[in-house]
């Protein structure tokens, strides 16, 4: 228990250090400040999962879903931004909740980059996909009940993912002088890839969303997590906030 608490304290400490760096190096090293903040966020969420949710069943499911998501990314690597990873991460968050959605998203980036190549972009991808899974858990009810909301959600995340990765690209030194012209040019250049990501999300959510939700809910029953799904569905209903955070 003490070790688990220590991980949480370390995550909070890293976040505070990133804030101090931002103040100290305001005009000198924004990339370092943002990288430290993202790393602190990842450490914090990983430690929270270990403390509250790291049962054998959840760990096994995260390993399986992350491996499936990473394999899908590797298989479709030849088609830039078209991949099933985001779809699987969204479905995981919807069915199994915020924490498992975040963990599956973060581990997907780390695992797939073992094949595609690790680099300074890996923490940013872990953060993007982790946040995608986490927010999918928070918005599980409307994503399940409304097809229009589900498709809009997947489409928007295709662009959010690309926009966050553009921040890394800009501040990591891949362009010369950082100015509004260079920033706009970077976002225009990424538009096609962001659109492809968004389009792939929409197609997969439209044709396979309900199927994956049913399959994953059956898996949850098999692993004894059906009660967790029912609790999440109840808490996601408007006005039912009891038990959140427990």
The answer to the question of residue 35 being in a domain is yes
232 with 179, same domain: the answer is yes
pLDDT at residue 196, as a whole number: 94
pLDDT at residue 139, as a whole number: 93
pLDDT at residue 182, as a whole number: 77
List CB contacts of 82: < 8 A, sequence separation 6 or more.
Answer: 76, 196, 197, 199, 200
38 with 120, same domain: the answer is no
Domain extent at residue 27:
1-52
The list of the chain residues with pLDDT below 70 reads 1-32, 49-54, 172-178, 224-246
18 with 136, same domain: the answer is no
Identify the residue whose tokens are 């955070």.
Answer: 245
The answer to the question of residue 242 being in a domain is no
pLDDT at residue 99, as a whole number: 86
Identify the residue whose tokens are 């999918």.
Answer: 136
179 with 209, same domain: the answer is yes
Q: What distance, in Å, lies between the first and last C-alpha atoms of the chain?
A: 17
pLDDT at residue 94, as a whole number: 92
35 with 129, same domain: the answer is no
What does the pLDDT look like over 60-118, one tens digit per residue?
Answer: 888 999 999 999 999 988 888 888 999 999 999 999 888 889 999 999 999 999 988 88
pLDDT at residue 130, as a whole number: 93
The answer to the question of residue 172 being in a domain is yes
- Give whole-number Cα distances, 91 to 14, 86, 87, 208, 213, in Å: 30, 9, 6, 10, 7
pLDDT at residue 70, as a whole number: 94
Q: What is the CATH number of the domain that holds 59?
A: 1.10.1760.20
157 with 93, same domain: the answer is yes
CA atoms of 89 and 205, how far apart (whole Å):
11
78 with 23, same domain: the answer is no
């Amino acid at each position: 228990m003490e070790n688990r608490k220590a991980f949480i304290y370390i995550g909070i400490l890293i976040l505070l250090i990133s804030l101090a760096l931002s103040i100290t190096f305001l005009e000198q090293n924004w990339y370092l400040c943002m990288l430290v903040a993202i790393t602190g966020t990842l450490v914090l969420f990983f430690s929270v999962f270990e403390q509250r949710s790291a049962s054998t069943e959840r760990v096994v499911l995260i390993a399986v879903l992350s491996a499936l998501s990473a394999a899908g990314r590797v298989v479709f690597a030849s088609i830039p931004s078209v991949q099933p990873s985001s779809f699987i991460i969204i479905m995981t968050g919807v069915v199994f909740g915020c924490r498992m959605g975040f963990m599956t998203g973060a581990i997907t980036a780390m695992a797939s980059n073992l094949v595609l190549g690790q680099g300074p972009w890996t923490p940013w991808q872990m953060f993007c996909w982790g946040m995608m899974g986490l927010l999918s858990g928070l918005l599980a009810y409307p994503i399940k009940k409304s097809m229009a909301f589900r498709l809009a959600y997947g489409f928007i995340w295709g662009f959010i993912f690309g926009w966050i990765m553009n921040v890394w690209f800009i501040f990591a030194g891949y362009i010369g002088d950082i100015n509004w012209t260079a920033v706009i040019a970077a976002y225009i250049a990424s538009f096609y890839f962001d659109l492809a990501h968004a389009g792939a999300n929409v197609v997969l959510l439209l044709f396979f969303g309900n199927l994956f939700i049913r399959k994953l809910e059956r898996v949850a029953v098999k692993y004894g997590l059906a009660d967790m799904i029912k609790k999440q569905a109840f808490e996601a209903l408007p006005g039912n906030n009891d038990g959140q955070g427990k």
